[in-house]
């Protein structure tokens, strides 16, 4: 009876001694590659321990809770594909087992091997008007030896879409710019001058306006003033002030073509008996992102 027991113990120790000790060491995603390039690179370090025998068939398989590959930001998605090379000639799909013996065949004891995977983004998607922010995705990569899972590692992938904001002052109902000044055709009470504001923003945004002369046209030399009213999309907002005033707040991004807002100024007083000369005000319009 003792002989059989010792023989069994010897077999167990022998199996442990000559097993293939292979595991993931770490993962790294190249975060330097963003919107202006076609791919990101994932580097997976596979390490072979000491007292390790020659390994059997080595394979990897990826799993995801979403069952599809896409970077996510709230309800926004950026789909992508993954490959074993930067030329996208060998696909690496979710849920499929891939043999990597050709990559690990020369792996020696106490040494590691880096396995590279490449994330490819669709060119049309990357040129689309994407919401600003950090898009994220997580994937679990399983390591198999002879059909048995021996280790796993999580890979976190992210893509930063920068904020893009553009503001243009356009002639009313036109795509032509107004230049750096607006002039009233006639200096009479009720006379108006109008323009459109075009806003392109891939994030939430607010629009601010301020008047250098507190909502008055001011005579350059004498300081005489002419008051005017301000309208935003035909809604009067009263007199402007020197401090910034918010006239729009939008928690969503604009359309790709841009959102338009109408701005109108109307002379608000009789101008009889006022000194001749040029009356002016400086209006500043600012757009700010609101993440």
What is residue 144's predicted lDDT score, i.e. its pLDDT?
A: 94
Torsion of CA 153, 156, 157, 162, to 10 degrees: -170
Predicted confidence (pLDDT) per residue in 84-93, tens digit: 988 888 899 9
Predicted confidence (pLDDT) per residue in 224-254, tens digit: 999 999 999 999 997 787 778 899 999 999 9
Predicted confidence (pLDDT) per residue in 10-44, tens digit: 333 333 334 678 888 877 887 654 444 556 889 99
Per CATH, the architecture of 165-290 is what? Sandwich (2.60)
What is residue 28's predicted lDDT score, i.e. its pLDDT?
A: 83
Domain boundaries, the chain: 19-161, 165-290
What is residue 2's predicted lDDT score, i.e. its pLDDT?
A: 40
What is residue 124's predicted lDDT score, i.e. its pLDDT?
A: 79
Predicted confidence (pLDDT) per residue in 34-81, tens digit: 444 556 889 999 888 876 567 788 999 999 988 889 999 999 999 999
275, pLDDT greater than 80 = yes
Predicted confidence (pLDDT) per residue in 106-162, tens digit: 888 888 889 999 888 877 777 788 999 999 999 999 999 999 999 999 999 888 898
**Tokens found for residue 214:** 């507190």
Give the CA distances from residue 176 to residues 172, 179, 254, in Å, rounded to whole numbers and listed in that order. 9, 9, 20
Predicted confidence (pLDDT) per residue in 177-203, tens digit: 998 889 999 889 999 999 999 999 999
What is residue 110's predicted lDDT score, i.e. its pLDDT?
A: 84
Domain 19-161 matches domain 165-290 at the CATH topology level: yes
CATH assignment, 19-161: 2.60.40.2410
Q: What is the DSSP letter of 15?
A: H
Closest by alpha carbon to 83, among 47, 121, 140?
Answer: 121
Rounded Cα gap, residues 191 and 265, in angstroms: 8
Is residue 48 within 8 Å of 94, Cβ to Cβ? no
What is residue 48's predicted lDDT score, i.e. its pLDDT?
A: 84
Instruction: Indicate the helix (H) or strand (E) that contains 4.
Output: helix 2-17
Is residue 199 within 8 Å of 175, Cβ to Cβ? no
Helix (H, G, I), strand (E, B) or coil at 123: helix
Rounded Cα gap, residues 83 and 63, in angstroms: 15
Give the burial class of 47: count Cβ atoms within 10 A of its Cβ; 0-12 exposed, 13-18 middle, 19 or more buried.
middle
């Amino acid at each position: 009876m003792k002989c059989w027991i010792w023989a069994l113990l010897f077999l167990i120790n022998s199996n442990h001694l000559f097993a293939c000790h292979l595991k993931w060491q770490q993962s790294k995603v190249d975060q330097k590659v963003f919107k202006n390039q076609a791919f990101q690179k994932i580097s997976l370090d596979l390490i072979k321990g000491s007292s390790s025998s020659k390994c059997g068939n080595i394979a990897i398989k990826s799993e995801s809770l979403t069952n599809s590959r896409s970077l996510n930001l709230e309800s926004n998605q950026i789909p992508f594909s993954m490959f074993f090379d930067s030329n996208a000639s060998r696909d690496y799909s979710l849920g499929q087992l891939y043999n990597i013996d050709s990559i690990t065949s020369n792996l020696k004891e106490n040494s590691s091997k880096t396995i590279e995977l490449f994330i490819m983004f669709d060119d049309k998607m990357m040129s689309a008007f994407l919401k600003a922010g950090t898009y994220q995705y997580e994937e679990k990569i399983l390591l198999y030896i002879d059909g048995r899972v021996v280790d796993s590692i999580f890979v976190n992938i992210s893509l930063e879409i920068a904020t893009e904001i553009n503001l243009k002052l356009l002639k009313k109902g036109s795509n032509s710019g107004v230049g750096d000044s607006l002039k009233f055709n006639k200096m009479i009470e009720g006379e108006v001058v109008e323009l459109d504001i075009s806003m392109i923003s891939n994030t939430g945004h607010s629009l601010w306006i301020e008047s250098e002369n507190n909502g008055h046209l001011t005579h350059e030399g004498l300081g005489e003033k002419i008051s005017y009213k301000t309208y935003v999309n035909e809604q009067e907002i009263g007199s402007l002030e020197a401090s910034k005033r918010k006239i729009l707040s939008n928690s969503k991004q604009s359309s790709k073509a841009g959102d338009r807002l109408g701005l109108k100024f109307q002379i608000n007083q009789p101008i009889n008996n006022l000194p001749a000369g040029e009356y002016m005000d400086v209006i500043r319009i600012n757009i700010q992102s609101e993440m």
